[in-house]
Chains A and B, each alone.
Chain A
C-alpha cells in the first residue's frame, strides 16, 4: 500500500463521512436499539474502512458496507463482553437473529431511519432544551462544542442535556419510529418548532453582540430541506419557504458596523434572489395544498415583502389579509401587533396606533420591547414627540440585545428636541 492510496482513501472517507455518516448512524440506531452503541459502531466502521478499503478498494455500496460492518463490530464487541456479563448473552442473540440484513433493505427504509431519528430527537417526552441539542448532534452531526458555542452555553451543559436525553430514550423506551397517522400532525409540529427555533437562534441571537449566527440558520435550512425530502407535508414546505425568505434578507438587515436596518430601509439589491425564487415557489406549493397552517401563512407574508420593489410599493392590503388569516389559525398578541403595523402602512399611522394601544391596554405585550418600539415609531410619524420619546425609552429598557439597543438609542437621538 502506497502513501498515495491511503491518502486518497482518507479523502474519499471524509467525503462519505460528511454525506453519509448521519444516515449510517440512523440505521445503526434502529439495528442496535441504542444511541451510544450505534455511535461507537459508526466510528468503528469508519476505522475498519480506512484499513480495508486501502487494501481491497472502495466497495460498490459504501453506505451498506459501513452499516453492516458497524453492526458486526457492535455484535462482536458485545459477544466478547458477554463472556464476563451474562446479562448480555440474550441481547447478543436477539441482535444476531434480527433477520433484517441491512444490505437487503431498500432506500425507502433507510430514508425512514433518518425520519425516525428526527422524530425521536424531537419527541415531546424530551425537555425542549434537550430536543434542540439532540437534533443538532444526532441528525446534523454538530459537535457538543459547536452547539455550545452557537447557543452561548458551556459544552458540559450541552453534553449533560444530551446524556440525559439518551438515558430517557432508553429508560422510558421512547420508540424509534415515524409516528402513526393520528399522531403525525402534533409530532410534526414539534419537529418544525425545533427547526424554526434553531433558525431563529441563528437569525437573531437572543442576546449578545452579533445579530446573526448564520451557521445555525444554514443548519436549520438544511434540516428543512431534509425534512421535505423525507416527508413533504405542506407545513414543512411552508417552514422551509419562510426560512429561505427571511434568510434572503440577511445581508441587508445589518450595516457593516453591525447595526440593525429595518425592512423599509434595507437595500433590496442585497437580497438573495436565488433564495427568494426558491422560497416563492415553495410558498406557492404549500398554498395550493390547501392544508397549510401558520408557517405557510408567515411565509406568504414574507413573500409579499420579497416581491415588493420598495416598502412603499408593498401590497399592504394583502399583508393585512394574510395576518387576518394567521390570527384565525393562531391567535396571538404578537401577530396582532404585526397586523397593527401592517394596518398603519395601509391606512396611516393613527389607525395602527389605535390598535397597538388597545393591545397594550390589555397588558399582553407590556413587557415586549417591539410593542413599545412600534408604538414609538407610529408616534414619531404622527409628530407626537413626547410620547415617542417615552415609548422608545421603555423599549430600550426592555431589550438586552446589543444591536437592537443601538438602533433604539439612535432613533431616540434622532427625535427632534
Chain B
C-alpha cells in the first residue's frame, strides 16, 4: 500500500548547517528505504516564498502568489513510500529527520483505475 508522507516544518526552524545535515540524513534514509523496497519518491520543496496558487473559475485562470493556506508549519517536502500497513508507515515517518522539529502527516494514497503506470 502506498502512503504519502508530507513534511511540515517551520521554515525558520533550521539554520543552513542544520539544513545541510538534514539533506544528508534524509538521503541516507531514502537509500535505506530503497534497500527494503519501500522507496517510491521523495524531495524537499523550495520555501513557501516561491509558492504559486492557481485556480480556474468560470473558465478563467487565476494565478496568485503564495501558498494555499497560511500555516504555522509549512509543507517543506514529501516522501512517497510503499508500506505493508499504517504501523510500518508510522515507523518510516518517525525516521524522517524533520519529525524531530515539525510534523509528518501520513496520507494513504487512493488507488484509482485508469492512471498511467509510469
Chain B interface size, as a band, is under 10
Q: Which of B62-91 contact A (CB under 8 A)?
A: 84-87, 90
Cβ of A171: which chain B residues have Cβ within 8 Å of it? 108, 110
Cβ of B85: which chain A residues have Cβ within 8 Å of it? 173-175, 177
Cα distance A123–B87 when bound, in Å? 10
Asked if B87 and A179 make an inter-chain contact with CB atoms under 8 angstroms apart, the answer reads yes
Cα distance A175–B108 when bound, in Å? 13
Does any Cβ of B come within 8 Å of A183's Cβ? Answer: yes
Does any Cβ of A come within 8 Å of B1's Cβ? Answer: yes
Chain B minimum-CB-distance residue to A182: B91
Judged by DSSP, the binding face of B is: mixed
Cβ of A180: which chain B residues have Cβ within 8 Å of it? 87
Cβ of A382: which chain B residues have Cβ within 8 Å of it? none
Q: Which of A164-221 contact B (CB under 8 A)?
A: 171-175, 177, 179-180, 183
Cβ of B110: which chain A residues have Cβ within 8 Å of it? 171
Whole-angstrom distance from the CB of A172 to the nearest CB of chain B?
Answer: 5
Chain A interface size, as a band, is 10 to 19
Does any Cβ of B come within 8 Å of A281's Cβ? Answer: no
Cβ of A177: which chain B residues have Cβ within 8 Å of it? 85, 87
Cα distance A171–B110 when bound, in Å? 8
Asked if B87 and A183 make an inter-chain contact with CB atoms under 8 angstroms apart, the answer reads yes
Cβ of B86: which chain A residues have Cβ within 8 Å of it? 123, 125, 172-175
Cα distance A177–B88 when bound, in Å? 12
Asked if B87 and A172 make an inter-chain contact with CB atoms under 8 angstroms apart, the answer reads no
Cβ of A174: which chain B residues have Cβ within 8 Å of it? 85-87
Interface string of A144-180 (1 = CB under 8 A from B): 0000000000000000000000000001111101011
Whole-angstrom distance from the CB of B1 to the nearest CB of chain A?
Answer: 5
Chain B minimum-CB-distance residue to A169: B86
Cα distance A352–B108 when bound, in Å? 53
Cα distance A180–B94 when bound, in Å? 15
Cα distance A179–B110 when bound, in Å? 25
Cα distance A27–B30 when bound, in Å? 37
Q: Which listed residue, A125, A173, A179, touches B1 by the CB 8 Å rule?
A: A173
Cβ of B1: which chain A residues have Cβ within 8 Å of it? 173
Whole-angstrom distance from the CB of B84 to the nearest CB of chain A?
Answer: 8
Cα distance A175–B85 when bound, in Å? 6
Cβ of A183: which chain B residues have Cβ within 8 Å of it? 87
- Known pairs A125-B90, A175-B85; list 12 more (Cβ under 8 Å): A125-B86, A171-B108, A172-B106, A173-B85, A173-B108, A175-B84, A175-B86, A177-B85, A177-B87, A179-B87, A180-B87, A183-B87
A-B pairs, top 5 by smallest CB distance, nearest first, are: A175-B85, A172-B108, A173-B85, A174-B86, A172-B86
What are 24 residue pairs bridging A and B, where the CB atoms are less than 8 Å apart in the complex? A123-B86, A125-B86, A125-B90, A171-B108, A171-B110, A172-B86, A172-B106, A172-B108, A173-B1, A173-B85, A173-B86, A173-B108, A174-B85, A174-B86, A174-B87, A175-B84, A175-B85, A175-B86, A175-B87, A177-B85, A177-B87, A179-B87, A180-B87, A183-B87
